[in-house]
A and B are shown apart, each in its own frame.
Chain A
Amino acid sequence: MLQYKKKLKKEFTMLRIKKLRKEALENIIYYDEFFYKFYKNYMANTVASKEDRYAEAFYYAFSNLTPAISEGELIVGKSIRNFSPTENDEWLNKYMAIAMEEAAKTGGGQNSHMAIDYDLVLHCGLNGIIEKIDTYMSNCEESKKAFYRTCKKCLEAVIVLSERYADEAEKLAEASTDPYRCEELKKISKICKKVPANPAESFHEAIQSVSFITYCLSMNPHRYCYQQFQLGHPDRYLLPFYLKDIKNNVITKEYAQLLLDCLGIQINNRVPNGLSSGYMIGGRDEDNNVVANELTDMCMQVVDDIKLVYPSVGLCYTKEMDDAYLKKACEILSHGRSHPAIFNDDIITKGLKSYGVPEKEAHNYIHSTCVEITPVASSNVWVASPYTNMAQLLLDVLDREYTDLDELLSTLFANLDAKIKNNFELQNDMRKVRNENSINPLLSCFVNDCLERGKDIEQGGAKYNWIMPSFVGMANLVDSLYALKHIVFDTKELTIKEFKAILDNNFEDNELFRQHLLNSIPKYGNDIDEIDSLFGKITEHIISECKKYKGLHTNGNIIPSVFCWVKHEYFGRETGATPDGRKAGFPLGDGSGPCQGREMKGPTASILSSTKWAHHELIGGVAVNMKFSKKSLGKHSLDTMRSLIKTYIERGGFEMQINVIDKETLEKATENPEDYKDLVVRIGGYSDYFVKLSPEMQQEVILRTEHSI
């Protein structure tokens, strides 16, 4: 009977997740209601000070936001789908236009991309923070009072909104015909009344508190774009609540997993596709002890349970961590999931310390969305600010002849330096505008040291105000430089002018030459020291050049990155043909790994190439993608995957993302073989490149892919 009950419970859980998943997949996320209500009040208020106007509008908006609780939800707090004001559409358009205008006035630049102090929320509750603010206010200078007042009002707004959710849950409970759901809703109501206003006590309360405050932070009237907050390290801050509840039989492990799954699903209701939101697990705590517990495992499991694009999970891997965690990560990846990504805790900590982050804080970092590292609970870092097209930078210097590669590099570096300087100045100018015109009092409550200093995060209250420019197309640049070296300087086949003319013509009537460039000249990613060292030469230069600048506010370091988000496609579209054989309009290489289709010697050679240059100072982010054919996965594949990852980490690799490719990719490979030249089909003792097979054989292999695993 117990077995049957367990089975029934499991099926019920799966049904719930299925339903919530479906909703999340179909969900289109709007924050219209918030912007509308905020600015309606804001514009009508012509007497109060800037801060008070903001505070009152914020409070008004939150007090009037429609709570949205879906059938089956256990963790609540998201925007309603279809907002229609009681006034007609004309008013909606009017206020949305105002919202955009006002937001624009506050200045451009980055936002969110961080994790707040969840421990503070969980252990003090918002009321506790309000008390702290009262203390600060009683001792502070007059000029800071407005800031504190605004913070208080925003916190109160969150509490009011949570109570609205409590009321809504109660209402739904009363209307519910399902006694089980009625109980759940009553519980949700109770929890929403309690948190985040008060400290959390149970695991469920803790998760609700974290999710809710993060949802509230998504509504920022000064930034008319989606906010991307990360949930820090849940296997740290949720652990005491979990252990206590398990010990006291308040919760089962299965139910705890369900709650985490709900948290994961809720992220997808807060952040639309194409961006990124998630959390990190593992790593080390501030006392340098390895973090690896049941929650580490369960937070990873969320990815496999809910199979949605978020959460973006980063596993902070250290050698001392039990193998079981990496094993689990590989298993999940082998199912075709794109997370967890593996991060090198030692390298990242080393890098953070090199930029002045003290030992204890250096263990508490977050991937900010993808791979950009920022200290948790203390950052106002502008990641990916901006993206620089390295391939274009090279094309721009091909306007004259050079005596040798060194001279060309010299000019390239001079232009790169100018670009870095110019980009820095543009970003810093935006910092200044934001400093003058923008505030974010709610966020300031949860980021050190804003409350301590009495300074809003936009005015520099946070501890770390780094700016992180990103350099895209590094592999194309390196491959292109090597091609130029060979064709122009070594064999002297062509002058720069002649080469450029061919590029400007997009290799028209020169397909032969293009094939020669692609096939006969070695490429980055094949363990060739000469090319690999070129990559390192350029990153070293970028790192040291960035160190010359300091932006506004404390710790305004400029810290570079070599990841690209989707910019490799975006830039690729507007970049002409490049000396590496790439045609005009084609995507640049993604991340900091080798270009698509150029890893001809397998993953070991690729990993060696990627780890011959130092990663640790590229705290802005390094992303290396490795793709494996699902067809190739066999009995020992997960062990092999682990060995590859461990060697990569051992050699100082920063981050690795593994993709196990399914049939669709193989189909694409048949249509665009050039982009999949390195896709290998392996069957015991035999191997061949997929794109070399006859069309019929390719179809056979694709078919086989369907049935394997």
Chain B
Amino acid sequence: MIGNVFNIQRFSTSDGPGIRTVVFLKGCPLSCIWCHNPESKSVYPEIFYNSEKCINCKKCEILCNNNQHIFDNNEHIFLKDNCEKCMKCAIECPTNALESCGKNITVDEVMDEILRDAEFYEQSSGGITLSGGEPLMQYDFALNLLKKSKEAKINTAVETSGYCYKKLNEISQYVDLWLYDIKLFSESEHIKYTGVSNKKILENLFFLDRTGAKIILRCPIITDINFNKNHFNEIANLANKLKNIVAIHFEPYHPLGIDKSIRLGKTQKYQNREFLTADSIAPFVESIKDKVHTTIEIL
């Protein structure tokens, strides 16, 4: 079985407990304007271009069948409008100024990589995490990875937006922990800033809670969008409705996705270049601490 993966990141410590390997699946049905993994949106392979690394060797110009690489006065412009994603330029680029993002890979190949760190998972109570993009968008691939991981006695976690129209009862059997994104509560706002409604997202959340699945609410706090007292209160209310919630994680906004977008030839819609500090959101977290019955962490 083949899936499209854009990264297998070993030694991840912020995507679930312990030392984990995170498998980033390509493709996401949402279009959050603050997305820090813009390379995960499209299900197809893409190319990163970091102009600062280009040494004008012009190998890419020679290799490209569609003249997508132009050199004008020693400035390398990557057109991309007619790129057939053959990846030849990325493979041959000597400095990795051009880098491919996303490749087709089998379940077994992913498992081979995952199993290498098994001793670390055991020592640290870690495991694997599926993330992306939206891992549930490649439902069968994700299901297979999780099944095989459980067979190998590895702890599993899934980071998800929750936006999935497939039934989650089968897959949830193989998931030890859900890292569930909660972005906005008002449906209109949710559509405005992420491109989709949150109805299905909340439906799935309560479904998983009923199955007894362990859940951590992952709450990105974005400065001009949901950074207000009301939002924190709504999170607290939601948390209290869940029987199997394990923690709430707050993720203050960081602008590092902006650079990534540039390297993809895209523009992040949300252009705020200021980090939102843990200190700024701390008072809001404090205000709900006594209201919730679970641990809170600011990542």
Q: Spell out A's residues near B (CB within 8 Å).
A: 511-513, 515-516, 519-520, 527, 601-605, 607-608, 634-637, 639-640, 643-644, 646-647, 650-651, 681-688, 692-694, 696-697, 700, 704, 707
B275 and A704 contact, CB distance less than 8 A: yes
CA distance A647 to B262 in the complex (A): 39
A683 and B19 contact, CB distance less than 8 A: no
Q: What 6 A-B pairs have minimum CB-CB distances, sorted nearest first? A: A684-B299, A643-B124, A602-B11, A515-B94, A684-B14, A643-B123
A511 and B55 contact, CB distance less than 8 A: yes
Contacts of B218 in A (CB 8 A): 685
B119 and A683 contact, CB distance less than 8 A: no
* Contact of B57 with A by CB under 8 A: yes
B159 and A685 contact, CB distance less than 8 A: yes
CA distance A608 to B10 in the complex (A): 12
* Contact of B256 with A by CB under 8 A: yes
A527 and B116 contact, CB distance less than 8 A: yes
B12 and A687 contact, CB distance less than 8 A: yes
Given known A-B contacts A602-B10, A605-B10, A635 and B95 have beta carbons under 8 A apart? no
The closest CB in chain B to the CB of A684 belongs to B299
CA distance A697 to B50 in the complex (A): 15
Contact digits for B84-124, partner A, Cβ 8 Å, 1 yes 0 no: 00000000001110000000000000000000110110011
Contact of B254 among A527, A603, A608, A683 (CB under 8 A): A683
* Contact of B234 with A by CB under 8 A: no
Contact of B117 among A604, A634, A704 (CB under 8 A): A604
B50 and A647 contact, CB distance less than 8 A: no
Contact of B55 among A515, A640, A643 (CB under 8 A): A515
B256 and A647 contact, CB distance less than 8 A: no
* Contact of B15 with A by CB under 8 A: yes
A604 and B10 contact, CB distance less than 8 A: yes
Contact of A640 among B19, B249, B262 (CB under 8 A): B19
Which chain B residues in 238-276 approach chain A with CB under 8 Å?
249, 251, 254-257, 259-260, 262, 273, 275
CA distance A646 to B125 in the complex (A): 13
Contact of B9 among A643, A646, A650, A687 (CB under 8 A): A687
Contact of B94 among A512, A683, A707 (CB under 8 A): A512
- A sample of 19 cross-chain residue pairs with beta-carbon separation below 8 angstroms, ordered by A number, consists of A513-B94, A515-B95, A527-B116, A602-B9, A604-B10, A604-B11, A604-B19, A639-B124, A640-B18, A643-B120, A650-B123, A651-B119, A682-B13, A682-B14, A684-B14, A686-B36, A687-B12, A696-B273, A697-B256
* Contact of B37 with A by CB under 8 A: yes
Contacts of B260 in A (CB 8 A): 688
Could you tell me the distance in whole angstroms from the C-beta of A309 to the nearest C-beta in chain B? 30
Contact of B96 among A519, A608, A639, A650 (CB under 8 A): A519
A644 and B120 contact, CB distance less than 8 A: yes
CA distance A688 to B254 in the complex (A): 12
Could you tell me the distance in whole angstroms from the C-beta of A343 to the nearest C-beta in chain B? 18
CA distance A511 to B55 in the complex (A): 9
Could you tell me the distance in whole angstroms from the C-beta of B202 to the nearest C-beta in chain A? 21
Contact digits for B9-49, partner A, Cβ 8 Å, 1 yes 0 no: 11111110111000000000000000011000000000000
* Contact of B187 with A by CB under 8 A: no
Given known A-B contacts A527-B116, A643-B124, A647-B123, A686 and B19 have beta carbons under 8 A apart? no
B257 and A686 contact, CB distance less than 8 A: yes
Given known A-B contacts A601-B10, A685-B251, A512 and B57 have beta carbons under 8 A apart? yes
Could you tell me the distance in whole angstroms from the C-beta of B131 to the nearest C-beta in chain A? 8
Given known A-B contacts A683-B256, A685-B299, A520 and B94 have beta carbons under 8 A apart? yes
Contacts A685-B14, A685-B251, A687-B12 aside, 5 further interface pairs with beta carbons under 8 A come to A515-B95, A519-B95, A637-B13, A647-B119, A650-B119
Contact digits for B46-66, partner A, Cβ 8 Å, 1 yes 0 no: 000010000101010000000
B15 and A685 contact, CB distance less than 8 A: yes
A636 and B13 contact, CB distance less than 8 A: yes
* Contact of B297 with A by CB under 8 A: yes
The closest CB in chain B to the CB of A520 belongs to B94
B50 and A692 contact, CB distance less than 8 A: yes
Contacts of A601 in B (CB 8 A): 10-11
Contacts of A515 in B (CB 8 A): 55, 94-95
CA distance A73 to B255 in the complex (A): 52
Contacts of B256 in A (CB 8 A): 681, 683, 686, 688, 693, 697
B124 and A640 contact, CB distance less than 8 A: yes
Could you tell me the distance in whole angstroms from the C-beta of A34 to the nearest C-beta in chain B? 51
Contacts of A602 in B (CB 8 A): 9-11
B14 and A647 contact, CB distance less than 8 A: no
CA distance A568 to B186 in the complex (A): 60
Could you tell me the distance in whole angstroms from the C-beta of A319 to the nearest C-beta in chain B? 11
CA distance A635 to B124 in the complex (A): 14
Contact of A604 among B120, B255, B275, B277 (CB under 8 A): B120
Contact of A516 among B94, B131, B249, B254 (CB under 8 A): B94
Contacts of A686 in B (CB 8 A): 36-37, 254, 256-257
Could you tell me the distance in whole angstroms from the C-beta of B89 to the nearest C-beta in chain A? 14
B19 and A644 contact, CB distance less than 8 A: yes
CA distance A685 to B36 in the complex (A): 9
The closest CB in chain B to the CB of A682 belongs to B14
Could you tell me the distance in whole angstroms from the C-beta of A580 to the nearest C-beta in chain B? 15
Could you tell me the distance in whole angstroms from the C-beta of A663 to the nearest C-beta in chain B? 16
CA distance A635 to B299 in the complex (A): 9
CA distance A657 to B15 in the complex (A): 26
Contacts of A511 in B (CB 8 A): 55
The closest CB in chain A to the CB of B259 belongs to A694
A693 and B19 contact, CB distance less than 8 A: no
CA distance A651 to B15 in the complex (A): 25
CA distance A643 to B17 in the complex (A): 12
Contacts of A684 in B (CB 8 A): 14, 249, 251, 299
The closest CB in chain B to the CB of A643 belongs to B124
Could you tell me the distance in whole angstroms from the C-beta of B134 to the nearest C-beta in chain A? 14
